[in-house]
């Protein structure tokens, strides 16, 4: 039986600190404002507004040592089978870094670099082809990463290819996507690791017919045979591998849309940023390791303080899709109720991750963050240097970012109970010098590594996702019934609901 991690020491610290406000903790130890901070290249992180103190941090780092986090991180890079339920390594680091000498990691890195060379050639072909628009068809890990990066970094005034992302099986999505496009000037990229995903195959078939021929049909897949059988010419299929999880795959040819939108050079800068974070996470001692701090903070909030929510708040319009990306990365990776050996998880694990964009959300759900009964720890993400000619706006944005973290932490008293701000609402601040491909690569790789370290501390597999399969199977079983075919439907509620859907048949 896998040992349930022992969080009792953490809870003892939480109990010790229960009557000391966060504001007081900071007043008692002002040096924590700079001591609880780390910088890795252009990425600065400050944890001073988390509700722990130095003794609690000692206990957290002791936990990381007991869980042999350093060894586990090394194992990830070395291509050890960390995804034991599927018998696979998780070598996304090999897509951008060359930090391991094991044969399996070297081979993976070699294949990744060869794929990049092919991708560069295909990008050049498409850039010179008269194509103006690209539709990227994929879902989950085959969509969210490229969609986020393109949205964050594409210069809207550039004359480069226009990217459109199509994920949902809802026919309204495909209809909207093609409404304004000319099939003769559009290329379609089908991205699916398995090439068996219902949404992608249905949308892909519609677009293949809409294109009229397959000359501008491309694919990225680990299942080249299926992609070829679908009608994609082998020279237009880029590879993927079972040693890359979908949600960790934007660094592979899954990032083809990124390279098409930004150019191959900027795609490689993104990889270089992730590689800088890889090198840091692999080499830095636990205390100086940003991913470990971030992961331990998550454990503290969940297992010592019992927080069931975690917000991610981007104070940069260009990062508005970051919460969507992180929801899959974190919750598909960590949303497990059994340990690696199958024994039950008896401690709380992943909280619900959600978020939005500042300052918009200050005028929507921030009321509850300030005064609601649920305390929601938050990651605030800001960018120091703007890339637009409106300095007044940027100063206001940064002032709001600082103000919210301060107000949430410190609160404010009042004689009027309605006007009391209780404070004690923790946050981490992540600040990028600028939103470059390099910096974004670092930020995303930080979250990947933090998720992995959390999985080690919770003893769960960060790389499988069996939880999503049952719904897919039931949907396939119900499809004939939705079509109106007379099939047996055992579930009485589903039977009634089908009666409503089919009542006009
Ligand atoms: O349904 C979840 C999932 O399996 C994700 O893990 C994956 O990123 C997504 O579907 C898409 O899968 P594929 O790339 O095989 O189409």
Write down the residue that tokens 């009608």 correspond to. Answer: 231
Task: Tell me if residue 363 is catalytic.
Answer: yes
The answer to whether 38 and 438 have CB atoms below 8 angstroms apart is no
User: Phi and psi (nearest 5°) for 220?
Assistant: -130, 120
pLDDT digits over 329-378, tens only? 999 999 999 999 999 999 999 999 999 999 999 999 999 999 999 999 99
Tokens of 347: 């401690």
Contacts of 118 (CB under 8 A, 6+ apart): 238, 253
pLDDT at residue 91, rounded to an integer: 98
We report the CATH number of the domain holding residue 40 as: 3.40.50.10490
Encode pLDDT of 51-65 as tens digits. 999 999 999 999 999
> Do 110 and 231 fall into the same domain?
yes
Per residue in 268-289, pLDDT (tens digit) is 999 999 999 999 999 999 999 9
119 and 261, same domain (yes or no): yes
Domain edge (last residue) among 201, 236, 267: 267
Cβ atoms of 267 and 259 within 8 Å: the answer is: yes
Q: Is the CB of 142 under 6 A from ligand 1?
A: yes
Confidence of residue 160 (pLDDT cuts 50, 70, 90): confident
Q: Quick one: pLDDT band at residue 3, thresholds 50, 70, 90? A: low
pLDDT in tens, 170-179: 999 999 999 9
| Shared domain check, 431 and 289 | yes
**Mean of pLDDT over the chain:** 96
Q: Coil, helix or strand for 390?
A: coil
C-alpha 26: how far from its chain's center?
31
Query: Which residues, 6+ apart, have CB-to-CB distance to 231 below 8 Å?
Result: 208, 214, 217
Probe residue for ligand 1, chosen from 85, 166, 190, 193 as the CB with the greatest number of ligand atoms within 8 Å: 193
| Average pLDDT, integer, range 490-502 | 95
Q: Which of 215, 240, 267 is the last residue of a domain?
A: 267
pLDDT over 90 percentage in the chain: 96
Q: 193: CA distance to ligand 1 center in Å?
A: 7
In this structure, the answer to whether residues 315 and 398 fall within a common structural domain is yes
**Nearest by Cα to 183 from 209, 218, 161, 150:** 209
- Nearest-CA neighbor of 358 among 369, 346, 371? 369
Q: Does the N-terminal peptide bond of residue 451 adopt cis geometry, omega within 30 degrees of 0?
A: no
User: Quick one: which of 145, 188, 133, 142 has its CA closest to 167?
Assistant: 142
Q: What are the CA-CA distances from residue 173 to residues 170, 442, 496 (Å)?
A: 6, 32, 28
Q: How many angstroms does the Cα of residue 464 sit away from the middle of ligand 1?
A: 11
With H, G, I as helix, E, B as strand and everything else as coil, classify residue 427.
strand
> Are 479 and 458 in the same domain?
no
Please name the residue whose Cα sits nearest to atom 16 of ligand 1: 192
Tokens of 126: 């498409």
CA distance 67 to 457: 6
Mean pLDDT throughout 28-36? 98
pLDDT confidence tier of residue 156, bands split at 50, 70 and 90: confident
What's the whole-number mean pLDDT along residues 155-176?
91
Residues 329 and 258 in one domain: no
d(CA 227, CA 204) in angstroms, rounded, equals 11
Output the residue whose Cα is nearest ligand 1's atom 9. 140
Residue 89 resides in a domain: no
Please choose, from the candidates 194, 190, 193, 226, the residue with its C-alpha nearest in 3D space to the C-alpha of residue 206: 190
For residue 371, the model assigns a pLDDT of 98
Q: Which residues pair with 166 in a beta bridge?
A: 137
Asked whether the beta carbons of 244 and 90 are under 8 A apart, the reply is yes
Structure confidence at residue 214 (pLDDT): 82
205-240 residue pLDDT tens = 999 999 998 889 999 999 999 999 999 999 999 999
Q: Which domain holds residue 401?
A: 8-66+284-462
CA distance readout (Å), 176 to 137, 165, 317: 14, 11, 24
In a domain, 78, yes or no: no
Q: Does the CB atom of residue 146 touch ligand 1 within 6 A?
A: no
- What are the C-alpha distances in Å from 290 to residues 44, 396, 445, 448, 454? 9, 28, 11, 12, 13
Given 199, 268, 332, 448, which residue is catalytic? 332
Regarding whether 291 and 184 lie in a shared domain, the answer is no
Q: Which residues contact 425 (CB under 8 A, 6 or more apart)?
A: 22, 369, 370, 375, 376, 377, 378, 408, 409, 411
Quote the DSSP letter at residue 301: I
Strands 427-434 and 43-46: antiparallel
Q: What is the pLDDT of residues 385-440, one digit of tens each?
A: 999 999 999 999 999 999 999 999 999 999 999 999 999 999 999 999 999 999 99
Which ligand 1 atom is at minimum distance from the Cα of 246? 8
Atom nearest to 194 CA in ligand 1: 15
In the structure encoding, which two tokens stand for residue 120, read together? 């560069």
Alpha-carbon separation of residue 236 from 137, 146, 244, 499 (angstroms): 15, 19, 20, 45
Q: Which two tokens stand for residue 409?
A: 């932490």
Cα(164)–Cα(166) distance, rounded to whole angstroms? Answer: 7
Nearest to 271 by CA among 121, 444, 122: 444
With a cut of 60, say whether residue 1 has pLDDT above it.
Answer: no
| 5-16 confidence digits (pLDDT tens) | 799 999 999 999
How remote is the CA of residue 449 from the centroid of ligand 1, in Å? 20
Does a structural domain hold residue 228? Answer: yes
Contact between 275 and 97 (Cβ < 8 Å):
yes
Please count the helices (runs of H) and the strands (runs of E) in the chain.
Answer: 20, 11
**φ, ψ (nearest 5 deg) of residue 69:** -60, -40
In this structure, is residue 304 part of a structural domain? yes
DSSP state, 20? S
- What is the DSSP pairing of strand 237-239 with strand 217-221? parallel
Say what the pLDDT of residue 505 is: 75
Asked if 183 contacts 173 with a C-beta cutoff of 8 angstroms, the reply is no
> Is 317 a catalytic site residue?
no
How far is it, in rounded angstroms, from Cα 434 to Cα 446?
A: 16
- Does residue 55 sit within a domain? yes
- Measured distance between the N- and C-terminal CA atoms of the chain, rounded to whole angstroms: 54
Statement to judge: residues 486 and 373 lie in one domain: no
328 lines ligand 1 (CB under 6 A): no
Q: Is residue 375 a contact partner of residue 307, using CB atoms and an 8 Å limit?
A: yes
Counting the structural domains of the chain, the total is 3
Q: What pLDDT is attached to residue 421?
A: 97
pLDDT of 2 strictly over 70: no
Q: Give mean pLDDT, residues 28-51.
A: 98
Between the CA of 196 and the centroid of ligand 1 the distance, in Å, is 9
Both 59 and 110 in a single domain?
no
152 pLDDT higher than 60: yes
Which numbered atom of ligand 1 lies nearest the CA of 472?
1
Query: C-alpha angle with apex 301: 424 to 295, nearest 5 degrees?
Result: 130
* pLDDT for 274: 98
pLDDT, residue 155, reads 84
Specify whether 472 is catalytic.
yes
Of 242, 267, 292, the last residue of a domain is 267
Does residue 104 share a domain with residue 39? no
Task: Name the residue with the closest Cα to ligand 1, atom 13.
Answer: 192
* pLDDT in the model for residue 158: 73
Establish whether residue 141 lines the binding site of ligand 1, counting it when its CB lies within 6 angstroms of any ligand atom: yes
Q: Is residue 274 part of a domain?
A: no
Which structure tokens are listed for 416? 């009027």
Crossing angle of helices 54-66/437-458, nearest 10°?
A: 70
CA dist., res. 163 & res. 229, Å (int) = 26
* Residue 235 sits in the same domain as residue 206: yes
């Amino acid at each position: 039986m896998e040992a349930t991690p022992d969080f009792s020491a953490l809870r003892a610290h939480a109990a010790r600190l229960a009557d000391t406000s966060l504001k007081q903790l900071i007043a008692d130890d002002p040096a924590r404002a700079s001591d609880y901070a780390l910088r890795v290249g252009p990425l600065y992180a400050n944890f001073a507004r988390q509700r722990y103190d130095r003794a609690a941090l000692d206990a957290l780092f002791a936990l990381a040592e007991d869980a042999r986090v350093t060894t586990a991180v090394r194992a990830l890079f070395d291509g050890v089978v960390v995804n034991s339920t599927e018998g696979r390594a998780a070598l996304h680091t090999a897509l951008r870094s060359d930090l391991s000498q094991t044969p399996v990691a070297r081979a993976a890195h070699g294949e990744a670099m060869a794929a990049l060379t092919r991708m560069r050639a295909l990008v050049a072909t498409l850039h010179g082809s008269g194509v103006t628009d690209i539709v990227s068809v994929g879902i989950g890990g085959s969509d969210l990463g490229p969609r986020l990066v393109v949205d964050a970094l594409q210069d809207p005034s550039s004359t480069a290819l226009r990217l459109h992302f199509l994920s949902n099986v809802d026919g309204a999505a495909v209809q909207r996507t093609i409404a304004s496009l000319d099939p003769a000037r559009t290329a379609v990229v089908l991205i699916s690791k398995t090439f068996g995903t219902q949404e992608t195959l249905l949308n892909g078939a519609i677009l293949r017919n809409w294109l009229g021929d397959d000359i501008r049909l491309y694919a990225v897949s680990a299942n080249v045979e299926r992609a070829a059988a679908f009608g994609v010419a082998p020279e237009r299929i880029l590879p993927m591998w079972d040693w890359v999880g979908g949600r960790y795959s934007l660094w592979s040819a899954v990032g083809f849309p990124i390279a098409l939108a930004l150019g191959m050079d900027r795609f490689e800068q993104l990889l270089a940023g992730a590689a800088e974070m890889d090198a840091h996470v692999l080499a830095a001692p636990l205390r100086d390791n940003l991913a470990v701090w971030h992961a331990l903070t998550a454990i503290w909030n969940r297992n010592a303080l019992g927080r069931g929510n975690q917000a991610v708040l981007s104070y940069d319009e260009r990062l508005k899709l970051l919460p969507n990306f992180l929801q899959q990365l974190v919750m598909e990776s960590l949303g497990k109720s059994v340990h690696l050996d199958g024994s039950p998880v008896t401690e709380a694990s992943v909280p619900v991750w959600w978020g939005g964009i500042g300052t918009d959300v200050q005028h929507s759900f921030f009321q509850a963050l300030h005064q609601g009964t649920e305390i929601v720890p938050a990651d605030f993400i800001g960018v120091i240097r703007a890339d637009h000619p409106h300095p007044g706006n940027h100063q206001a944005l940064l002032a709001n970012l600082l103000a919210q973290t301060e107000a949430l932490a410190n609160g404010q008293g009042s004689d009027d109970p309605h006007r009391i701000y209780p404070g004690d609402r923790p946050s981490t601040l992540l600040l990028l010098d600028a939103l470059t491909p390099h910096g974004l690569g670092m930020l995303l790789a930080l979250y990947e590594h933090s998720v992995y370290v959390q999985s080690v501390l919770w003893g769960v597999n960060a790389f499988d996702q069996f939880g999503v399969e049952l719904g897919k199977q039931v949907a396939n079983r119900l499809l004939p019934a939705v079509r109106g075919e007379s099939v047996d439907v055992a579930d009485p509620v589903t039977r009634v609901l089908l009666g409503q859907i089919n009542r006009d048949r």
